[in-house]
């Protein structure tokens, strides 16, 4: 991503819904129409489009082209976001490059998915022969394995994971877009008593697949100012890695791609962990949040449990964590999930996070995680540092 003058000038997000009966296109349309209204940009001015590939439309290799058609767009730059939960911030970073290189001027970064209504994905590859037979069909078994190893190497306190779930639930209560089912407080007793699904992983450590969409508009800062747009967020730095340790057959799985990219994204932004006002990490499972706190240097490696238990992670605290509830407490709209925590970061920087607004929301880290590979942690890790550029 260029050391850019590119800015995010608008965001929109639908409510997260379980088994809505609606398609990714319909959710996308809702987010898109709302984004046009909020920014005053007209449809035909948008000449760049990044679309996150959706589980619910996975059978269509031309999903991005179909989406352009559905929305009545004629992009000169089109990108398929194929890195799952990294696709939203990855889409912003790629859009910034496209704008710099004059492939487009105004880009829409769109993620919509409805896997709780229609699941059309089949990962194929080695899975039927080597992953399904021992019973590792879904993410919980893989994360049970990962947690067991982390616990073995560093020690893991269930209360720390419980605190992550409870803090995010409190934040989700103030988010009207969160899944209705989750809009009630959570206690430590409820967390500790929740069903073990793949030891030591509890059901309340996990997300629930839902339906929903989010969308962002990206343009140069000059363009934004010439339009009189006042609220903007500058993506200061971005880093991404896929298949970390991909040439090792017995890697340390407690070390993720974030160990490589966290120092890189701080270096590119010229910042340190102490400069970060809010942490909006990808949260498919609570352990992923804890491991990222270590990777981004908010605490020492292996010290995640103690750090979580000692730190106020609320929106008023030292390190506000997933202030919209994250996916764990707002619901995971399939692969559109990568945009959920990004939308919350932008909302905070626009000063629009009613009921959970952070004081001085000047900087944020937003991350993504994409796909769970054979016997490791996750396939793609991505991180973006954002800063408020309101003027």
Partner 1 sequence: MANENRPVPKPDVYVPTKPFWDGARSGKLMLQFCKDTQRFQHYPRPVSMYTGSRNLEWREVSGKGQIYACTVVRVPGPGLEGRLPLSVATVDLEEGVRIIANILGSNSEVVTIGQRVVLAWDQIDGDTPYPAFRLA
- Segment holding 293, helix H or strand E: helix 286-295
Please identify, among the stretches 163-171, 228-236, 243-251, 322-330, the one whose residues bind partner 1 according to the rule CB under 8 A: 243-251
Site map 306..345 versus partner 1, x via CB under 8 A: ----------------------------------------
**321 closest CA partner among 352, 354, 350, 348:** 348
Angle between helices 338-349 and 87-100 (to 10 degrees): 70
Nearer to partner 1, 158 or 174 (CB): 158
The binder of partner 1 chosen from 85, 115, 144, 212 (CB under 8 A): 144
What is the distance between the alpha carbons of residues 334 and 56, in angstroms, rounded to a whole number?
A: 8
40 contributes a contact to partner 1 by CB under 8 A? no
242 contributes a contact to partner 1 by CB under 8 A? no
Q: How many residues bind partner 1 (CB under 8 A)?
A: 37
- Segment holding 387, helix H or strand E: strand 380-388
246 contributes a contact to partner 1 by CB under 8 A? yes
Please identify, among the stretches 48-56, 130-138, 260-268, 333-341, the one whose residues bind partner 1 according to the rule CB under 8 A: 130-138
What is the distance between the alpha carbons of residues 43 and 310, in angstroms, rounded to a whole number?
A: 48
The binder of partner 1 chosen from 43, 76, 126, 188 (CB under 8 A): 126
* b/e map 336-370, b = 16+ CB within 10 Å: bbbbbbbbbbbbbbbeebeebebeebbbbbbbbbb
The binder of partner 1 chosen from 74, 122, 137, 272 (CB under 8 A): 137
User: What are the structure tokens assigned to 203, written together?
Assistant: 């059901």
125 contributes a contact to partner 1 by CB under 8 A? yes
Residue 180 has a CB neighbour count (10 Å cut-off) of 12
Nearer to partner 1, 196 or 309 (CB): 196
Please identify, among the stretches 30-38, 52-60, 109-117, 137-145, the one whose residues bind partner 1 according to the rule CB under 8 A: 137-145
Nearer to partner 1, 125 or 318 (CB): 125
Report 196-215 residues binding partner 1 (CB under 8 A).
196-201
Closest distance of CB 355 from partner 1, Å: 34
Nearer to partner 1, 145 or 343 (CB): 145
User: What are the structure tokens assigned to 264, written together?
Assistant: 């890189």
The binder of partner 1 chosen from 21, 40, 72, 138 (CB under 8 A): 138
Quick check: 237 and 268 in contact, CB under 8 A?
yes
Nearer to partner 1, 196 or 318 (CB): 196
Nearer to partner 1, 132 or 222 (CB): 132
What is the distance between the alpha carbons of residues 328 and 326, in angstroms, rounded to a whole number?
A: 5
The binder of partner 1 chosen from 42, 44, 102, 195 (CB under 8 A): 195
C-alpha separations of 336 from 5, 14, 123, 197, 266 in Å = 26, 11, 18, 25, 26
Closest distance of CB 229 from partner 1, Å: 47
What is the distance between the alpha carbons of residues 87 and 93, in angstroms, rounded to a whole number?
A: 10
What is the distance between the alpha carbons of residues 122 and 365, in angstroms, rounded to a whole number?
A: 32
192 contributes a contact to partner 1 by CB under 8 A? no
The binder of partner 1 chosen from 148, 157, 303, 311 (CB under 8 A): 148
**106 closest CA partner among 235, 249, 9:** 9
Q: Is 318 exposed, middle or buried (0-12, 13-18, 19+ CB in 10 A)?
A: exposed
Contact residues for partner 1, defined by CB under 8 A: 124-126, 128-138, 140-141, 144-149, 152, 195-201, 246-247, 249-250, 253, 374-375
């Amino acid at each position: 991503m260029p050391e850019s003058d590119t800015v995010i000038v608008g965001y929109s997000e639908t409510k997260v819904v379980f088994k809505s009966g609606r398609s990714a296109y319909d959710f996308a349309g809702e987010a898109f129409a709302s984004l046009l209204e909020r920014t005053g940009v007209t449809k035909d001015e948008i000449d760049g489009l990044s679309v996150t590939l959706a589980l619910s439309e996975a059978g269509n290799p031309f999903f991005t082209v179909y989406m352009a058609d559905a929305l009545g767009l004629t992009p000169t730059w089109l990108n398929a976001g194929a890195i799952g939960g990294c696709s939203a911030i990855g889409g912003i970073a790629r859009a910034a490059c496209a704008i710099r290189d004059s492939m487009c001027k105004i880009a829409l970064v769109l993620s919509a998915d409805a896997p709780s209504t229609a699941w059309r994905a089949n990962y194929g590859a080695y899975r039927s022969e080597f992953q399904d037979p021992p019973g590792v069909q879904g993410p919980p078994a893989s994360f049970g394995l990962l947690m067991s190893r982390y616990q073995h190497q560093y020690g893991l306190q269930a209360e720390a994971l419980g605190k992550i779930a409870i803090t995010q639930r409190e934040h989700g209560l103030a988010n009207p877009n969160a899944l209705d089912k989750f809009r009630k407080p959570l206690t430590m007793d409820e967390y500790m008593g929740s069903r073990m699904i793949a030891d030591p992983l509890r059901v309340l450590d996990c997300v629930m697949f839902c339906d929903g969409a989010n969308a962002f508009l990206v343009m140069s800062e000059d363009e934004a100012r010439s339009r009189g747009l006042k609220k903007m967020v500058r993506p200061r730095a971005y880093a991404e890695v896929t298949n970390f340790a991909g040439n090792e057959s017995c890697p340390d799985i407690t070390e993720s791609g974030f160990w490589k990219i966290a120092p890189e994204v701080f270096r590119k932004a010229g910042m340190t962990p102490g400069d970060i006002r809010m942490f909006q990490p990808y949260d498919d499972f609570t352990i992923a949040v804890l491991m990222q706190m270590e990777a981004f240097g908010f605490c020492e490696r292996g010290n995640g449990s103690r750090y979580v238990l000692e730190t106020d992670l609320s929106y008023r605290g030292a390190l506000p964590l997933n202030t919209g509830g994250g996916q764990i407490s707002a619901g995971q709209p399939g692969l559109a999930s990568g945009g959920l925590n990004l939308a919350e970061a932008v909302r905070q920087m626009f000063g629009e996070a009613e009921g959970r607004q952070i004081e001085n929301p000047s900087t944020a880290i937003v991350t993504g995680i994409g796909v769970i590979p054979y016997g490791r942690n996750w396939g793609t890790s991505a991180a973006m540092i954002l800063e408020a550029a309101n003027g």
